[in-house]
Structure 1
Amino acid sequence: MNRAPQVELNIEQIEQRFVNCKSWEERYRQLLLLSKVLGPMDSQYQTQENLVQGCESNVWLYYANKQLLIDSNAKIIKGLLVIMLACFAQDAENTQITFSQTLEKLGLAHHLSESRNNGITAILQTIAKLS
């Protein structure tokens, strides 16, 4: 697998999209808009084997040759995956820490449900295990 990254945005560009958000609704809208940025995952990788366990939504994760492909059927999760991929691209070894710090900075951390947080944890643990 040698292809262009699924996300062309870096963390600073993502932060810039949220800088003028005053309310949770505005942040939520930005998250939905971010979901449209996630490039498609080839259907050959959307297999049962690549489904992340512990997520309510379907999340597929494939890692090979230091490249991470990830997708979901849920828009909010896709928006969060864009942030996660940008964190992975910046510092793969510290994706979980960078992601948590970025969610805090964007004002998203305290608005995610327990089940979403559990799913995010499952995704981050899978990334750490595979990379």
Structure 2
Amino acid sequence: MNKAPQVNLSIQQIEQRFANCRSWEERYRQLLLLSKALSPMDAQYQTEENLVQGCESDVWLYYANGQLSINSNAKIIKGLLVIILASFAQQAESTQTTFSQTLEKLGLAHHLSESRNNGITAILQKIAELN
């Protein structure tokens, strides 16, 4: 069973998409393209109750029956959510560890603003609370 049914990409497939990126602009473009790989979240779960506190953009997170659903109103965040969901589905390590390692490999870790990092941290903490 896919624990993150909104994404059909593995961490390895995501890394392949970024393999030929040589500049921040290319990585940014890939991140925006990656956002299109996020299947829509059922609108019934996009409620005030499911909003993640600490995010500058709206981010909704819903978890039930072992499956995580997540969405945002911002494209760049959606791209990052794809990486988070792929990290969650991988199960090899903690979602946060896998996500952080992947950001480093993709060359994205040092380009995210402090407010984005704070929002991502809030999302990852919320996911950690689920387990």
CA-atom RMSD, angstroms? 1.6
Give the match for residue 66 of structure 1.
66
Letter aligned with residue 77 of structure 1: I
Distance verdict in 2 for CA 1:102–1:62, change over 3 Å: same
SS in 1 for 2:7: coil
Distance verdict in 2 for CA 1:92–1:39, change over 3 Å: farther
- TM alignment of 1:1-131, pairs within 5 A: 5-91=5-91, 94-131=94-131
Distance verdict in 2 for CA 1:4–1:126, change over 3 Å: closer
Give TM-score, length-normalised by structure 2. Answer: 0.95
Question: How many angstroms does 1:22 deviate by?
Answer: 0.2
Question: How many angstroms does 1:3 deviate by?
Answer: 9.4
Alpha-carbon separation, structure 1, partners of 2:42 and 2:109: 30
Deviating beyond 6 angstroms after TM superposition, the runs of 4 or more aligned structure 1 residues are none
Alpha-carbon separation, structure 2, partners of 1:11 and 1:53: 26
Alpha-carbon separation, structure 1, partners of 2:4 and 2:112: 30
SS in 2 for 1:21: coil
Do 2:3 and 2:66's aligned partners in 1 also have CA atoms closer than 8 Å?
no
SS in 2 for 1:36: helix
Distance verdict in 2 for CA 1:92–1:70, change over 3 Å: farther
Count, aligned residues: 130
Give TM-score, length-normalised by structure 1. Answer: 0.95
